[in-house]
Amino acid sequence: MRIYSAKDVDQKALKGATIAIVGYGSQGRAHALNLKDSGFNVVIGARKGGASWKKAQKDGLKVAEPIDAVVGASLVALLTPDMAQAAVYNEIKGHLATGAALLFAHGFNIHFGQIKPRKDLDVVLIAPKGPGDLVRRQYQQGRGVPCLIAVAQNATKKAKAKALAYAHGIGGTRGGVLETTFEEETVTDLFGEQVVLCGGATELVVKGFETLVEAGYKPEAAYYECLHELKLIVDLLQEGGITKMHEFISETAKWGCFVTGTRIVNKSTKKEMKKVLTEIQNGKFARGWIRENKTGKKRYQKELNADIKHPIEKVGRQLRARMPWLEQGR
């Protein structure tokens, strides 16, 4: 396993280069501002007059239409949503300089063949292991979110050096940059989101909340126990793993963990996890997500609305209103 730090960065790899960031969402904004603060010449590719255009201008960045933004850029970071990237790439591909680097923050479209880059381009991945808001805040605090690095095409023989210089510019080398592949990043990222971080954790929280409320306990108490306190445990896990969590929770909590955890997440759960992994690996999930987008995202919107309207959200909004510091900490 190779983990890169600041000492591994070739400062000349992107010296004097123009970096075009196409897309100004969570990751795009964080990358652009961090790179600007690191001394790079950054231009944002966005639709004229749109929300992203106005936001980037307000942030003091140079903005142009995507086609114009990429002209002359040594590195182009394609940071639009996954399902929009193929169309954007087809729009800008004829305007990319020979030998330019095309950078992604997620390997989905390269791994699943939705984008087939020109052969004269370097194609690289820098994937921060955290949302854009965290990437920005950590950088401002002198810290950095760890990143993954991968190379899919090395047309100039300098692809990795360019990617590593970019990672350094957004603060990634402070936390460490782990070498991987587009396939590994894509599969593990999708698996983590679906099984643990978003799908698994959310469903565990909601089902726990529902169980307590259906048994007659106050929704507010259920919210605190099943959602609010989750961050306390996650922070301990992130800071020091399972060992640190055990150091800080009570003996009663530890005993409950030992005798109950495997009743909730058990062998059948792991069996289902393996099915999910297979569906990601063989492309079934990707094909379904692409099809959902092409047919209007009806199920996507239905599921999203159901989450937003769940009783736990109403209770949560009321309780969080009494804790304004939660929002201030963002």
pLDDT at 330: 53
CA 177 – CA 153 distance, rounded (Å): 19
- 151, 260: one domain: no
Q: Quick one: pLDDT at residue 279?
A: 98
Query: Do 89 and 234 belong to one domain?
Result: no
Which CATH number do you get for residue 198?
Answer: 1.10.1040.10
Say whether both 142 and 257 belong to one domain. no
Domain boundary residue, one of 135, 151, 180: 180
Pairing mode, strands 41-45 and 101-104: unpaired
Domain containing residue 259: 190-328
Domain shared by 308 and 208, yes or no:
yes
Q: What is the pLDDT along the chain (330 residues), one digit of tens a residue?
A: 789 999 999 989 999 999 999 999 999 999 999 999 999 999 999 999 999 999 999 999 999 999 999 999 999 999 999 999 999 999 999 999 999 999 999 999 999 999 999 999 999 999 999 999 999 999 999 999 999 999 999 999 999 999 999 999 999 999 999 999 999 999 999 999 999 999 999 999 999 999 999 999 999 999 999 999 999 999 999 999 999 999 999 999 999 999 999 999 999 999 999 999 999 999 999 999 999 999 999 999 999 999 999 999 999 999 999 998 887 655
For residue 1, the model assigns a pLDDT of 77
pLDDT value, residue 180: 97
pLDDT value of position 329: 54
Prediction pTM value: 0.93
316 and 199 in a common domain: yes
Q: For the chain, how many structural domains are there in total?
A: 2
β-strand 18-22 against 75-78: which pairing, if any?
Answer: parallel
Q: Known catalytic residue: 111?
A: no
Interatomic CA distance for residues 246 and 263, integer angstroms = 19
- Of residues 31, 106, 111, 168, which has the active-site annotation? 106
Strand order through the sheet with 62-64: 3-4, 177-179, 147-153, 122-128, 101-104, 75-78, 18-22, 41-45, 62-64
Same domain for 249 and 305, yes or no, is yes
Beta strands in the chain (DSSP E): 3-4, 18-22, 41-45, 62-64, 75-78, 101-104, 122-128, 147-153, 177-179
